[in-house]
Structure formats: structure tokens, C-alpha cells
């Protein structure tokens, strides 16, 4: 954790600004903000500014993973691990995972369901824990028998308000408009920066299927109304077509997974400026290493069934101009915090994005998915100085971002976390 310079300039680099422009230039940072950026010669570097010479490397906005779960898992056994490991151990693991995230270039994460995330963010903000900025939903909302009503755990372990044992994936179970409003308010009371809902079944929930509709349109609308009233937005786990449609019509801003998104929903998403977070990484990992790390058989089967359609539907969404952001759905262990740049590579390899577009998905659009695009996600004057200096050209090969040795400079809110 390097120097504490107040005013400095990063020079001799190719700036990729997150908007799509690339130019040889400099960036001046002052009091945590980008005070100037431009081509060489057009930027006036203050005389007293210290210089960080990038030696011709690339400078990007800090990376953002818009869908993680900071719950400190170390196996893929979602059935046994939460019951056997003490809660405090999970918290300690999350501290380690946050360090992995920041050293791999992720300066912001959106946590889509973890009470640990919603609370530990204060320790990160005060500087007690090193890690990316956390934007957290805290407790997710799920209907009874929903994706968040973790069916493989005894029912008394599931709802945070009634459980006698804290488990990392505890959520709020609510049915009907009134209960949904109350649960949304409860989540806000427990530090939610946005509200996470389970709009459909899923791969990692035992007794349902991705295509099952869960919250009804009226329930979604009630939750969105509570979120809006408190200046927040809603992020939905939505895999089946009916649940995706309900979410968008109900006013949800972020659709995670979107496995069975169809053309009608893509058009609706575009009309409403909804961001899709396909989370290709989790499916990729479940299929490649799932059986070795203890992912239950029923989840492996569902992932396999969903995979092909998922890829082809997201490809269609991309071609039709949908907003797509990076999110891995990683939760620790073999779904390792620090490997999150995998999603950028999968957007290129499986969806057919240009590297530049995949980098925009991981910066500008991901900032929108966590509700911070007014403040960060691009290298522009006045934006928060979250910057990454890399050797090699990520615009020709995004894969270089998966190796943290290529990331020489990491700056979060103007603070230099790593410098060569
Ligand atoms: Zn998730």
C-alpha cells in the first residue's frame, strides 16, 4: 500500500476512458478525483504534482463486478458448508476475498445478496479493511419456495428475522404485497444500497427451476416502489422469461442471469434502459469444475440444461443493443474472488463482443448496474479516480487482465493501492 500523494499525474500511457476512446495521454488526480485528462500536451500537469510514468502501458477505469456474493464460501457445497462453518469464519474469509478483489484490479463490487457485504462495507470505507468499494443489497427478498428460500436448508435457517443461526445466505421471505413492502423496508433498515429480489427459480436452488416465475408483477411493483421511495433501485435474479418480463414491467433496473430472455423482453429492457448482468462466469465454472468442488448434482444438471440457450439469448441481446455489464456471481473458494476478469473474457469469447465493448461492460455499464455511473466507471474530469495501469494491451487481448502481474498500478478514490 504505497504512497499518499495528494496531487499526482499518471503520464506516458494509453488512456482507455471507458467511453470507447483510446489516446496517448495523461491523467491528473487531485483529492481523490480526476482533475484533468487528455492527450499529451493538452493536459497541464501541475508543477508540484508527482509523476507516475506508465512507460507506455495502458490506463483504464477500475474494474467493476456488478454481481458477487461476499459470503466467504470455500467449497461449492452450498448444502453443508453454511451449516458447519461458524459465521465469524465466513466474515474473516470475506476480508481476505476483498483483498484478492482489489489486487486483481476490481475497485468496486456490487453485492447481490450477503448481509456480511452490507456491514463490512463500513470497515472498508473507514480504511480498516482493504478492498473495493462495496455497493450491497444486504438481505435479498424471496417468496416462500423462492430461489432465496434456500430449500436445502431447514426452513428455520433461512429467514434472517427468524433464524437462530446466522448463515451467509440468509434472506427475507415475503409473500404478497404487504409482506414485500415490509421486507423491502427491513432490507433498507439493514443497510441495503439497493434491493435484490428473486424473480424466478434458479440453478443453485434445489426444488425450483430457472423458468419458474416467483414474485408476481404486483409484488415486484411494491418492492420497486419502496426502493424508489428511498432513492434506491432493484436488482433481480431473473432467469425464466415470465420472471424477466415481470421484473422489467415492474420497474427493476438490473436483470441478473437473464438465461431465457426473449426478443420481447430484450426490447422491453432496451426501452426501459435496463442493464443485463448475464453472469456467464458462474455457469462456466459450474460446468468446468462443479462436480469436483461439491456443487450438488441437481445444480450441475440444471446448469448444463441452461447453458446453450443462455449463451445464444445473451448473444441475441447483445446484437439487439442491450446494455450488458460484467458480473460473475462468485462467492469465494473455487468461485474465486480475484478471478473476476474471467467475465470480461467470456463476453468476448462466448458473446462475440469486441474487447473494447467488453471493457466498457466492465467499467461504464457496470457502474450503471451498481448505480454509481454519475461518479465513476469512466476516466473523465470530475469523476472519482479509480484507475488501473496495465502492461500489455487489453484492447487486443482482454485475457491479460486475468493475470494480476500485468496490473502494475491500482488506484482507488485517488489512493494508490499498488504502484509497480
Ligand atoms: Zn447471485
Tell me how far the alpha carbon of residue 111 lies from the centroid of ligand 1, in angstroms: 8
CB 263 within 8 A of CB 281: no
- Provide the pLDDT for residue 366: 98
Tell me how far the alpha carbon of residue 291 lies from the centroid of ligand 1, in angstroms: 19
Answer whether residue 2 is part of any domain. no
112/239 same-domain check: yes
- Provide the pLDDT for residue 1: 42
267/381 same-domain check: no
Tell me how far the alpha carbon of residue 25 lies from the centroid of ligand 1, in angstroms: 38
110/196 same-domain check: yes
Residues 6 or more apart from 150 whose CB is under 8 A from it?
Answer: 78, 82, 157, 158, 167, 169, 171, 205
Q: Give the CATH number for residue 131.
A: 3.20.20.140
Tell me how far the alpha carbon of residue 387 lies from the centroid of ligand 1, in angstroms: 26
Tell me how far the alpha carbon of residue 68 lies from the centroid of ligand 1, in angstroms: 6
The CA distance from 33 to 94, in Å, is 28
Answer whether residue 345 is part of any domain. yes
Tell me how far the alpha carbon of residue 113 lies from the centroid of ligand 1, in angstroms: 7
- Provide the pLDDT for residue 4: 55
The CA distance from 140 to 407, in Å, is 34
78/139 same-domain check: yes
Tell me how far the alpha carbon of residue 138 lies from the centroid of ligand 1, in angstroms: 12
Tell me how far the alpha carbon of residue 245 lies from the centroid of ligand 1, in angstroms: 19
197/336 same-domain check: yes
318/384 same-domain check: no
- Provide the pLDDT for residue 164: 63
Tell me how far the alpha carbon of residue 229 lies from the centroid of ligand 1, in angstroms: 25
- Provide the pLDDT for residue 2: 47
Question: What are the tens digits of pLDDT across the range 56-65?
Answer: 999 999 999 9
Answer whether residue 36 is part of any domain. yes
Tell me how far the alpha carbon of residue 128 lies from the centroid of ligand 1, in angstroms: 26
318/216 same-domain check: yes
251/263 same-domain check: yes
What SS3 state is found at 108?
Answer: strand
Tell me how far the alpha carbon of residue 67 lies from the centroid of ligand 1, in angstroms: 6
Answer whether residue 1 is part of any domain. no
C-alpha cell at 342: 474471467
Question: What are the tens digits of pLDDT across the range 107-158?
Answer: 999 999 999 999 999 999 999 999 999 999 999 999 999 998 888 888 888 8
Tell me how far the alpha carbon of residue 140 lies from the centroid of ligand 1, in angstroms: 10
- Which of 334, 353, 369 is a domain's end point? 369
Answer whether residue 305 is part of any domain. yes
Q: Residue 103: which domain range?
A: 63-369
As averages over each run of 10 residues, the pLDDT of the chain (420 residues) reads 71 97 97 96 92 97 98 90 92 98 98 96 98 98 92 83 79 97 97 98 88 96 98 98 98 98 98 98 94 89 92 98 98 96 98 98 98 98 98 97 97 96
| Helices 263-271 and 241-250: angle between axes, nearest 10 degrees | 20
Work out how many domains the chain is built from and give that number. 2
269/394 same-domain check: no
Answer whether residue 320 is part of any domain. yes
The CA distance from 80 to 383, in Å, is 44
* CA-based nearest residue to 235, from 221, 246, 224: 224
303/186 same-domain check: yes
Answer whether residue 362 is part of any domain. yes
Task: Tell the residue number behind the cell numbers 454481481, with chain if given.
Answer: 67
- Provide the pLDDT for residue 76: 87
Tell me how far the alpha carbon of residue 182 lies from the centroid of ligand 1, in angstroms: 22
- Provide the pLDDT for residue 206: 84
* CA-based nearest residue to 361, from 400, 404, 411, 314: 314
Tell me how far the alpha carbon of residue 279 lies from the centroid of ligand 1, in angstroms: 8
Q: Give the CATH number for residue 383.
A: 2.30.40.10
CB 348 within 8 A of CB 311: no
| Helices 280-293 and 297-319: angle between axes, nearest 10 degrees | 160
Tell me how far the alpha carbon of residue 236 lies from the centroid of ligand 1, in angstroms: 9
95/228 same-domain check: yes
33/130 same-domain check: no
Tell me how far the alpha carbon of residue 52 lies from the centroid of ligand 1, in angstroms: 38
Tell me how far the alpha carbon of residue 258 lies from the centroid of ligand 1, in angstroms: 12
Answer whether residue 44 is part of any domain. yes
- Provide the pLDDT for residue 6: 76
Tell me how far the alpha carbon of residue 370 lies from the centroid of ligand 1, in angstroms: 14
Amino acid at each position: 500500500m504505497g504512497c499518499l500523494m495528494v496531487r499526482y499525474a499518471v503520464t506516458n500511457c494509453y488512456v482507455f476512458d471507458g467511453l470507447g476512446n483510446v489516446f496517448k495521454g495523461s491523467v491528473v488526480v487531485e483529492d481523490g478525483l480526476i482533475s484533468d485528462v487528455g492527450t499529451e500536451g493538452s493536459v497541464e500537469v501541475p508543477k508540484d504534482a508527482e509523476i507516475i510514468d506508465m512507460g507506455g502501458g495502458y490506463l483504464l477505469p477500475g474494474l467493476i463486478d456488478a454481481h458477487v456474493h461476499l459470503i466467504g464460501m470455500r467449497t461449492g457445497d452450498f448444502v453443508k458448508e453454511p451449516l458447519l462453518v461458524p459465521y465469524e469464519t465466513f466474515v474473516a474469509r470475506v476480508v481476505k476475498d476483498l483483498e484478492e478483489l482489489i489486487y486483481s484490479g476490481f475497485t468496486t463490487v456490487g453485492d447481490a445478496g450477503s448481509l456480511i457485504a452490507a456491514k463490512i462495507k463500513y470497515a472498508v470505507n473507514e480504511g480498516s479493511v482493504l478492498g473495493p468499494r462495496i455497493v450491497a443489497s444486504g438481505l435479498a427478498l424471496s417468496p416462500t419456495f423462492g430461489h432465496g428460500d434456500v430449500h436445502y436448508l431447514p426452513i428455520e435457517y433461512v429467514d434472517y428475522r427468524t433464524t437462530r443461526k446466522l448463515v451467509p445466505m440468509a434472506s427475507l421471505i415475503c409473500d404478497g404485497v404487504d409482506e414485500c413492502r415490509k421486507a423491502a423496508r427491513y432490507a433498507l433498515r439493514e443497510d441495503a444500497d439497493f434491493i435484490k429480489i428473486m424473480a424466478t427459480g434458479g440453478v443453485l436452488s434445489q426444488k425450483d427451476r430457472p423458468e419458474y416465475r416467483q414474485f408476481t408483477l404486483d409484488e415486484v411493483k411494491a418492492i420497486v416502489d419502496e426502493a424508489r421511495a428511498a432513492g434506491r433501485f432493484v436488482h433481480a435474479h431473473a432467469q425464466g422469461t415470465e420472471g424477466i418480463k415481470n421484473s422489467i414491467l415492474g420497474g427493476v433496473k438490473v436483470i441478473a442471469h437473464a438465461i431465457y430472455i426473449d426478443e420481447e423482453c430484450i426490447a422491453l429492457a432496451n426501452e426501459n434502459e435496463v442493464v443485463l448482468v448475464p453472469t456467464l462466469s458462474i455457469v462456466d465454472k459450474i460446468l468446468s469444475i462443479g462436480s469436483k468442488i461439491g456443487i450438488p448434482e441437481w445444480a450441475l444438471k440444471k446448469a448444463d440444461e441452461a447453458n446453450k440457450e443462455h449463451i445464444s439469448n445473451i448473444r441475441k441481446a447483445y446484437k439487439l443493443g442491450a446494455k450488458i455489464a460484467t458480473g460473475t456471481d462468485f462467492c469465494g473458494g473455487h468461485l474465486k474472488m480475484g478471478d473476476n476478469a474471467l467475465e470480461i473474457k467470456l463476453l468476448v469469447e462466448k458473446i462475440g463482443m469486441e474487447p473494447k465493448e467488453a471493457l466498457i461492460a466492465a467499467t461504464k455499464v457496470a457502474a450503471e448496474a451498481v448505480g454509481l455511473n454519475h461518479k465513476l466507471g469512466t476516466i473523465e474530469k470530475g469523476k472519482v479516480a479509480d484507475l488501473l495501469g496495465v502492461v500489455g494491451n487489453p484492447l487486443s487481448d482482454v485475457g491479460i487482465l486475468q493475470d494480476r502481474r500485468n496490473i502494475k498500478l491500482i488506484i482507488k478514490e485517488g489512493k494508490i493501492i499498488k504502484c509497480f
